Chains A and B, each alone.
Chain A
Amino acid sequence: MANTVIGSSIVIDGEITAEESLTILGTVKGKISVAQALAVEAGATVEADVEAQTVTVSGRLTGNVTARERLELKPDSKMVGDAKSPRIVIADGAGFKGNVDMDV
C-alpha cells in the first residue's frame, strides 16, 4: 500500500521526494523522486522527470523515466519520454514514444 497518495483532483507543480511509495491519481508537473514504487494510475497525468525503484504507468506520463528495477506500461497507458530500466514491460495497448535503455 502506498504511503503517499495524490488524489485525482490534486494538482502539484513542483518537486516530490519520497522515501516510500507514491501513488498518483491526479496531476503532477515537475520532478518526482521515489525510493520505492511509483504508480501513475489511470486518469493521472504526470509531466515530470521520474526516478523510482519501480514505475507502473496506467495513466499518462510525459518525461524521462529511470526505474532502478522495473518499468511497466499497462494497457491504455501513454508514455512519452526516454525510459531507462533493466526490465521494461509494455503491455498490449500501451502507447509509448521515446528511447529505451535497458543498459545492455
Chain B
Amino acid sequence: MTQPGIAHGQIRPKRPLCLFRLVLSALSFQPSALFLLLSSLVFIILPCAADGAVSVTMQLDRKEATLADSVKMIISVAGARKSDAKPAVHGLETFHVTGGGTSSRLEIINGQVSAGIDFTYFIQPQRTGTFEIGPAEITIDGKVVRSNKETLKISPPSRISGAAQGPLFLTATLSPNQVYVEEQTIYTLKLFRQTRVSDISLALPEQEHLSFKQLGKPLEYQSVHSGQSYQVLEVRFAVTASSEGPYSIRPSTMNLTVYQPRTRSRRTPFDDPFFNDPFLSFSTGRPMALSSEPAHVEALPLPAQGRPADFSGLVGTFQLESKLEPTEIRAGESATLTVLLKGRGNVHRLPDLEMPELDHTKVYADQPVLEVETDQQGMGGSKTMKWALVPEKEGLYHIPPLTVSFFDTKIRQYRSIGTSPFSFSVLPGQEKERHVAADFGRSETTEGPVKLAVKELGRDILPVHTSVKDMEPALGAGPQGLLPWILLTAPFLVYGVAFCGKRLRKDSDKASALAKTKKAAGVLIKKCRKGELSSSDLGEAIRGYLNDRLGLSLGSLTPREAFEILQSRGVRPASSQRLQAFLQRLEDDVYSGRGQDVCHMGEDLPALVKEIDKEIR
C-alpha cells in the first residue's frame, strides 16, 4: 500500500529551526539567566538534533499464543519525538486491543543522538488461526510511514488439569506429539502466577534418548485463564529423540519462593496500601516446589524407503546456497567457492561437504564454520564451507554440484539438494606475462603466483628409525664410572702439582741462599786455614765471601767498594778499613806480578772476618 512520494518505511522530515531560535532568545536574556538557559539548552537541542530519517518497526513479544493469552505489541518510531496521530495497525480485526501507553526516548550512543516514540498495545485474540498483523501506519509531519508485518499463530488454550488451578501453577505442553527420530518438538513450560515469586529454579526430567535444549530467554506476559488474569512465565525447550519409541516425559519441577501479603488481625497504621507493596519486606516468602503434568511424545523411525546413500542423519528443513568468486582468474591464482547450508533441525549433524577432485586444480578446503541459533520456534543454524581453487593451467573449468541429503520434516520424505554447477575461466598465468615483459626489455616488478598458507590436512606420528648407525650406545647418558670424573679433575690436579712444585722450588732457592749466607764466613776461614793461598786466590775468596754473605753477585770488587758496602751494612769503620787495607795489599800484589805467589797475610784474617760477620746487619 505505498503512496506516491513516500519511501517504504521511512521519510525525511523538514529540519526544525528550533536551535537557531533558542540561541537568539538566549542572547536577549540577562547574563545571570544565561547559564540556566544553556544548561537546559542541552536537553532541548539534543532532541532537535536527533531528528533524522524516520522509521517505524512493529514487534510482537511472541509468534505463537493461545486464545487465553494477551500478546504485547510495540510500535517503535525512530527519528521523531511526536506524531500527528496514533498509529493505525492493519490486521487487528479479530483482536481485542488495549492501549499500554506511549513513551518517548532519547539515546546517545557513540556520540550519535537518536530519539523515538514507543507505542505499546496488548492484543487479545478472539479466534484461532494464523494472522498477519501490520503494517502499522503513522503520520509524521504530514507524511505516512509504514512498518513491517508480523505473523501470529493463535491456538486453542491448553488443557490444564484441575489440580493445576489456583493462584500459582505450572503447566507443560509438548507440540507436536508425534515426531521422527532426531526431529525436534517443542516442550513448553508455563508458570501461571497471581502472586510475587522469586528465586525460580527449574529441574528438567532426565530421560534416556531424549535431549533438551532451551530456546531463547524465558518470556513473561499476561494471560487469562478460567476468567482470571495471570502473569505467565514461559520457557521453551527443543526436545529431540535419538531413538524411536514412545516416550513419557516425567513432570518438571520448578522451585521458587512465593511471597504472600501478611494477614493482620486488626488494622494498624501499616495497613496503608503503601506498606502492602510486595517489594517491601512486609510480605513473607516461603519456598515452594511446583510440578507440571507429564507429557507424551512418540518418536517414529526414519523411513528406510527412499533413504539416499549419502544421508548423514540430517533431519529438518534445509537450504543450500553457493557462490564462486571470481569467475575469471589467471593460472596460479585462486577462486573461492563458498557453500552455505542452513535451516532448522538437528544442525549439529550438518555434514562437511566434500569437493571432488578437479583436473589441474589444487583444492584447499577451509575449516567449516558451524553456527547454531535458537529461537522460540526451535533450533536452527548454518554451516559455511569454503574452498580455494587454484588452477594450474589456462582453460574453462567446471565444478560439479555438491549435494546433501536430509529428511524433510515438512513433506515427510527424504530430499537431496545441491549447489548450482559453476564454471570459471582461467587465463594464462603471470609467469608467461613476465617472460613476455622480459623479452621487451621492460623492467617492472612482477609478483609470483598467489601464495596460500599450507594447510594441515591430517596429523600422525612419524615413522620409526631403522638406521643401525643410530643404534650406537647412547651418548645421552651422563658421566658414568670414575673415568669421566678423573678426566674432569686431572687438569686441575696437574696445574696444582705444577703450582706447588714451582712454589717449593722458589722456597728452596731462598733457603739455599740463606744457608750460603750463614756458611760464607766459615768457608773463607777454612780456606785461610788451609794456608798457601796466592794473593789472587785470596782476593777471590774474600770477594766470594762478601757476595755470599751480603747476597750480592758482583764480578769484581775494589777495596774502596768493599769498604762502602760494609759501611752501608752497619760494619764499624775500623773493621771496614782493615779489610779495605788488606784487599788493597792483595790488589797491589796482583798488579805487581806477585799475584800467584803464596800470600803472607800479616793480618789475622779469620778473626777480622768473624768480627765483620758479627757486625753485618
Same complex for A and B? Answer: no
